[in-house]
A and B are shown apart, each in its own frame.
Chain A
């Protein structure tokens, strides 16, 4: 393992789901105050911030509620990788030596139903949305449909992923959907985008997460349980990959950005997939979790069928995946979602995850996000 330069010394979260009485920004501020308390520092100690939301305004306006201290605050907007990009930027700001203590924060508040896509902001013509093609849900249906045929994944395995998510979330007080569903209920719910049913999709939601980062060699000033950030990587798509919001795909086939991001992160950390004890993988729907297991290097394509049927990604399994219920049970407030994964891994590595704690004292953890128009972010954490 490479020598870490940056540590996470404080974490804060506002519960995910629906909070009608609070704006998105208020949920972000709540998360920041929790994180400050966790690290035992004050807002005036924070030297810099990277923050973002997709649908709830500019993050730097938070200073009007947290304190006008003059800190460097940079807004981040990078689709579903907004949180991951804020963390990546904060990591590099400390690793470069520019500052010693900073914060990465993300929050959001989306309207109900599937994401409403602004095609022009994606560089696409109005025709694309007008004729009903600008839906992330269609991409997910089409990607897993082809994958199931090519690699032998069953409909029952799809249902098992959702069932696991809701079961794990039952023990997560910050999760949105905490009621377990049977595999039958999941398979029989409304078919939204074949082969994916309603209970196989996550929903846009609300929530906020904040993480306080410090130089690794100063981390013990703030906490007895620093969690080190061994890698933070963001990559975009290459020629030939199959991505969301794509009116066309090249004739050549290429792996998606997740593969590049994952390989770069493992190289940066100096370890391999076999060293990971717990993973949070982007599960905007069940197919994504399945395909991302292989794209992140945790198995061969097709091997997921056996692994999931045998429970290897359950909390007590060989590689627990999405221990807090993932996007499926937490919903996806875009700005906060990637940081929620890191929050969960910090809890798991501290041994503070309560009834959903991964057994045998996990020491290395992995997060992965994916989003439009073909970006991915990965972190590797250790204690």
Chain B
């Protein structure tokens, strides 16, 4: 009871001292995608292997989710909804990943800014566990 559990198995390494997103890399053409999948969308090869992704990248684009998403599928707070940032972070030399952002103020977001991976609580499930998901935060300084 009261544990921290990942939103989905296989999305990121957990538990871990330094959790990372798990993508997959095509062993034939080198294409990287996220989350891990069988089959390469670039060259059609079925020879893919899972790969832990880098934890830093630059903000490729962003928006702010200003209204509560329909629930289901959304499982976060709806009644006292707080807007959250959403963006694509271009993980250096790997892949652009869609992600929640830890900031939701437009003045604090700009395309090209350096971001790093972090993990945030999303909701508490029926067993009292804190469900964790990934997000990206601006790099301090």
CB-based nearest B residue for A246: B98
Q: Taking the complex as formed, is A70 at the interface, i.e. its CB lies under 8 A from any CB of chain B?
A: no
Quick check: A248 and B95 within 8 Å, CB to CB? yes
Q: Taking the complex as formed, is B41 at the interface, i.e. its CB lies under 8 A from any CB of chain A?
A: yes
CB-based nearest A residue for B84: A132
Q: How large is the interface on A (under 10, 10 to 19, 20 to 34, 35 or more residues)?
A: 35 or more
Least Cβ–Cβ distance between B29 and chain A, in angstroms: 10
State whether A194 and B63 are in contact (beta carbons under 8 Å apart), knowing that A125-B11, A132-B69 are contacts in the complex. yes
State whether A126 and B73 are in contact (beta carbons under 8 Å apart), knowing that A247-B35, A248-B34 are contacts in the complex. yes
Task: Identify which of residues 84-117 in chain B touch chain A, using a CB-to-CB cut-off of 8 Å.
Answer: 84, 86-88, 90, 93-98, 100, 106, 111
Select which of B35, B41, B86, B93 is within 8 A of A251 by beta carbon.
B93
Query: What 0/1 readout, one digit per residue, does chain A (334-373) give for beta carbons within 8 Å of chain B?
Result: 0000000000000000000000000000000000000000
State whether A130 and B106 are in contact (beta carbons under 8 Å apart), knowing that A125-B8, A138-B63 are contacts in the complex. no
A132 CB contacts on chain B under 8 angstroms = 65, 69, 74, 76, 84, 86, 100
CB-based nearest B residue for A135: B69
Quick check: B96 and A251 within 8 Å, CB to CB? yes
Bound CA span A251–B62, Å:
17
Q: Taking the complex as formed, is A274 at the interface, i.e. its CB lies under 8 A from any CB of chain B?
A: no
A44-52, A111-119, A179-187, A321-329 - interface stretch: A111-119
Query: What 0/1 readout, one digit per residue, does chain A (230-272) give for beta carbons within 8 Å of chain B?
Result: 0000000001000000111111000000000000000000000
Select which of B61, B67, B93, B95 is within 8 A of A142 by beta carbon.
B61
Least Cβ–Cβ distance between B88 and chain A, in angstroms: 6
Quick check: B61 and A145 within 8 Å, CB to CB? yes
Quick check: A119 and B95 within 8 Å, CB to CB? no
Task: Identify which of residues 118-151 in chain A touch chain B, using a CB-to-CB cut-off of 8 Å.
Answer: 118-119, 125-135, 138, 141-143, 145-146, 149
Least Cβ–Cβ distance between A370 and chain B, in angstroms: 18
Q: Taking the complex as formed, is A193 at the interface, i.e. its CB lies under 8 A from any CB of chain B?
A: yes
CB-based nearest A residue for B83: A191
Q: Taking the complex as formed, is A42 at the interface, i.e. its CB lies under 8 A from any CB of chain B?
A: no
Q: Taking the complex as formed, is A192 at the interface, i.e. its CB lies under 8 A from any CB of chain B?
A: yes
Task: Identify which of residues 286-304 in chain A touch chain B, using a CB-to-CB cut-off of 8 Å.
Answer: none
State whether A194 and B70 are in contact (beta carbons under 8 Å apart), knowing that A133-B100, A142-B61, A146-B61 are contacts in the complex. no
A113 CB contacts on chain B under 8 angstroms = 70
State whether A116 and B32 are in contact (beta carbons under 8 Å apart), knowing that A142-B88, A248-B96 are contacts in the complex. no
Interface size on B (CB < 8 Å)? 42
Bound CA span A114–B64, Å:
15
Select which of B8, B63, B67, B106 is within 8 A of A127 by beta carbon.
B8
Quick check: A129 and B106 within 8 Å, CB to CB? no
Bound CA span A132–B123, Å:
12
Bound CA span A247–B133, Å:
14
Q: Taking the complex as formed, is A217 at the interface, i.e. its CB lies under 8 A from any CB of chain B?
A: no
Select which of A119, A141, A149, A246 is within 8 A of B73 by beta carbon.
A119
B14 CB contacts on chain A under 8 angstroms = none
Bound CA span A239–B45, Å:
14
Least Cβ–Cβ distance between A113 and chain B, in angstroms: 6
State whether A247 and B97 are in contact (beta carbons under 8 Å apart), knowing that A114-B70, A142-B87, A146-B61 are contacts in the complex. yes
Quick check: A239 and B69 within 8 Å, CB to CB? no
Least Cβ–Cβ distance between A287 and chain B, in angstroms: 11
Q: Taking the complex as formed, is A188 at the interface, i.e. its CB lies under 8 A from any CB of chain B?
A: no
State whether A251 and B95 are in contact (beta carbons under 8 Å apart), knowing that A127-B133, A194-B64 are contacts in the complex. yes
Quick check: B61 and A190 within 8 Å, CB to CB? no
Bound CA span A142–B100, Å:
13
Query: What 0/1 readout, one digit per residue, does chain B (48-66) give for beta carbons within 8 Å of chain A?
Result: 0000000000001111111
CB-based nearest B residue for A195: B63
Least Cβ–Cβ distance between A110 and chain B, in angstroms: 12
Q: Taking the complex as formed, is B15 at the interface, i.e. its CB lies under 8 A from any CB of chain A?
A: no
Least Cβ–Cβ distance between A310 and chain B, in angstroms: 28
Bound CA span A113–B66, Å:
13
Quick check: B98 and A248 within 8 Å, CB to CB? yes
Q: Taking the complex as formed, is B7 at the interface, i.e. its CB lies under 8 A from any CB of chain A?
A: yes
Bound CA span A246–B95, Å:
12
Task: Identify which of residues 65-82 in chain B touch chain A, using a CB-to-CB cut-off of 8 Å.
Answer: 65-67, 69-70, 72-76
Q: Which residues of A contact B (CB under 8 A)?
A: 113-114, 116-119, 125-135, 138, 141-143, 145-146, 149, 190-196, 239, 246-251
Q: List 7 A-B contacts (CB under 8 A).
A: A131-B74, A132-B86, A145-B62, A145-B63, A193-B66, A249-B60, A249-B98
- In the complex, besides A131-B122, A193-B66, A251-B90, 8 extra interface pairs with C-beta distance below 8 angstroms are A125-B8, A126-B8, A129-B69, A141-B63, A146-B61, A194-B62, A239-B41, A250-B33
Q: Which residues of B contact A (CB under 8 A)?
A: 7-8, 11, 23, 31-35, 41-42, 60-67, 69-70, 72-76, 84, 86-88, 90, 93-98, 100, 106, 111, 122, 133
